[in-house]
Amino acid sequence: KRVLVIHGPNINLTGTREQNVYGEINYEEINNIIKREASKLDIAVKIQQTNSEGEIINFIHSAQNNFDAIIINPAAYTHYSYAIMDAIGAVQIPAIEVHLSNIHSREEFRRKSVIASKCIGQISGFGPYSYVLALNAIKLLENSME
Ligand code: DQA
């Protein structure tokens, strides 16, 4: 399986940004955790990060021909980007939404994801391990995801 991981805006600052919410593990370490788990599961993973909405949409479009699944942390766009929602709906490959923090235990505006309806499911609240759980979900669903 080939999986594209997309980190949205400000995720590159994880480790220094609001440590009480997002933890002390930094962006590079998160990616190392993802890469380590992927190789354990025999998944070829590519990781991309951008702070711009349009670029997330371009990543999703170009994933179409090159990947079997997308793991996406749309960050704040989660809560209001119909454009990203439509992009996920427009491509044929399945997506899993992930969050470092538990978006349901925070401010009211974070409880709503406009992205989730187009995803297989949402994993939220496990820090970097949200991505690890998503990789495992893809592995477990491997046969039904062909
Ligand atoms: C986040 C949660 C979002 O509400 C927030 O805007 C982020 C990160 C998370 O991973 O917990 O930037 O997606």
Annotated catalytic residue, options 27, 77, 99, 131: 99
Q: Does the predicted TM-score (pTM) go above 0.95?
A: yes
pLDDT digits (tens, 9 = 90+) for 80-107: 999 999 999 999 999 999 999 999 999 9
The answer, yes or no, to whether residue 40 has pLDDT greater than 70, is yes
Q: Which residues line ligand 1 (CB under 6 A)?
A: 10, 73, 75-76, 78, 99-101, 103, 110
Give the span between the Cα atoms of 138 and 14, in whole angstroms. 24
Give the domain extent around 56: 2-145
- pLDDT computed for residue 145 by the predictor: 75
Hunting for tokens 């496990």 — which residue is that? 126
Annotated catalytic residue, options 22, 27, 129, 131: 22
Q: What is the CATH number of the domain that holds 100?
A: 3.40.50.9100
Residue among 106, 107, 114, 66 nearest 88 (CA): 114
- pLDDT computed for residue 43 by the predictor: 98
Write out the DSSP string of 48-63: EE-S-HHHHHHHHHHH
The answer, yes or no, to whether residue 21 has pLDDT greater than 70, is yes
Q: How far is the CA of 92 from the centre of ligand 1 (A)?
A: 25
What domain count does the chain have?
Answer: 1
Chain-wide mean pLDDT for the chain?
A: 97
